[in-house]
Amino acid sequence: MSVLNRLSLGLGLVFLYAPIAVLVVFSFNASSLVTVWGGFSTRWYGVLVNDGPLIAAALVSLKVASLAALVATLLGTLAALALNRSGRFTGRGGFTGLVYAPMVMPEVITGLSLLLLFVGLGLDRGLVTLVIAHATLGLGFVAVVVGARLKGLDGSLEEAAADLGAGPFRVFATVTLPLIAPSLVAAFLLAFTLSLDDLVIASFVSGPGATTLPMRLYSQVRLGVNPEINAASTLLVGGVTVVVLAASFLTGRRGVGNQGT
């Protein structure tokens, strides 16, 4: 790699990760002043562990993320199967667009429209509405990830199974599902992190007693940034990184991800 390439790569990485690095470094600050370095300490992680409301918010986030990811994976996989395995049907292109469009929809609009829907239905805002909203958010991404895997799958495998006497259900259970399983896990993890990260939609559809971690952090920041927030954010960044790496490992593994690419 030439010097110029190294330099531009370095600049790019600094631009992307310097803010996060600052956050991580200051989470280990002994001083209670956010911008003044007072030596290395893990005291804020201790404070964090004993911060009841923050832990409660984290638990809400994990619960919502798990349930939402589950629902999104289920529905998104069904959508991907319908779009990739039902042959050509009228409006297939339109359906594909409709499944993918919410991914590029501004979150404010998604949040607002969901809020209007829930109010219209008379649904009390709380955990349930959060799960529904985040499942909606993740569904499109799941359909993309699983759909890519289905596209890469040699269609003659399913034909061979049918040829050997397997009905449609057995074909799916014994051939299609095992072969797309890694992409299901990856899609689940992706939907999970999307839910964990979301602040905008959650602000619209959440109610009392269902405060997620990002909501809690945001409200604390408005009262002033303290090193405890840095510590919580560092843990969140670490967790999300691990999950995303796991997801990309699962989709990138040989013979498991997009075989064609």
Partner 1 sequence: MAPFLTLERLTKTFGAQVAVADLSLAVPAGEILCLLGPSGCGKSTLLRLIAGFETPTGGAIRLDGVDLTGLAPHRRPVNMMFQSYALFPHLSVSRNIAYGLNGLRRSAAAARVEELLRLVQLEDFGNRRPETLSGGQRQRVALARALAREPKVLLLDEPLGALDRGLREQTQGELRAIQRRLGTAFVIVTHDPSEAMALADRIGVMDKGRLVQVGRSETLYERPVNRFVAGLLGDVNLIPGTVRDADGALVRVETALGPIFASGESAPSIGAPAVIALRPERLAASTIDGVAAGDRNTLDGQVEASIYLGDHIRFDIRMRDGSTIRANIPAGTGIASETHVRLSFAPDAATVMAA
Binding positions for partner 1, rule: CB under 8 A: 154, 156-157, 159-167, 170, 174-175, 178-179, 255
Distance CA 24, CA 238 (A): 10
Report the nearest approach of partner 1 to the CB of residue 260 (Å).
14
Report the nearest approach of partner 1 to the CB of residue 82 (Å).
19
In this complex, which beta carbon is closest to partner 1, that of residue 179 or of residue 196?
Answer: 179
In this complex, which beta carbon is closest to partner 1, that of residue 27 or of residue 176?
Answer: 176
Report the nearest approach of partner 1 to the CB of residue 174 (Å).
8
Distance CA 120, CA 4 (A): 57
Report the nearest approach of partner 1 to the CB of residue 145 (Å).
19
In this complex, which beta carbon is closest to partner 1, that of residue 97 or of residue 252?
Answer: 252
In this complex, which beta carbon is closest to partner 1, that of residue 193 or of residue 251?
Answer: 251
Distance CA 259, CA 76 (A): 21
Q: Which amino acid is at 12?
A: G
Report the nearest approach of partner 1 to the CB of residue 178 (Å).
5
Closest to 161 measured CA to CA, from 149, 147, 174, 151: 174
Look up residue 260 and give its two tokens: 């064609």
Report the nearest approach of partner 1 to the CB of residue 256 (Å).
10
In contact, 57 and 212? CB cutoff 8 Å: yes
Distance CA 226, CA 220 (A): 9
Report the nearest approach of partner 1 to the CB of residue 164 (Å).
3
In contact, 83 and 176? CB cutoff 8 Å: no
Helix (H) or strand (E) holding 30: none
In contact, 257 and 152? CB cutoff 8 Å: yes
In this complex, which beta carbon is closest to partner 1, that of residue 175 or of residue 243?
Answer: 175
In this complex, which beta carbon is closest to partner 1, that of residue 64 or of residue 161?
Answer: 161
Q: Give the chain's radius of gyration (CA, Å).
A: 22
- Residue with tokens 């895997």, as numbered in its chain: 149
Strand partners, 40: 29
Look up residue 40 and give its two tokens: 């290395």
Distance CA 238, CA 48 (A): 15
Q: Which amino acid is at 237?
A: V
In this complex, which beta carbon is closest to partner 1, that of residue 51 or of residue 158?
Answer: 158
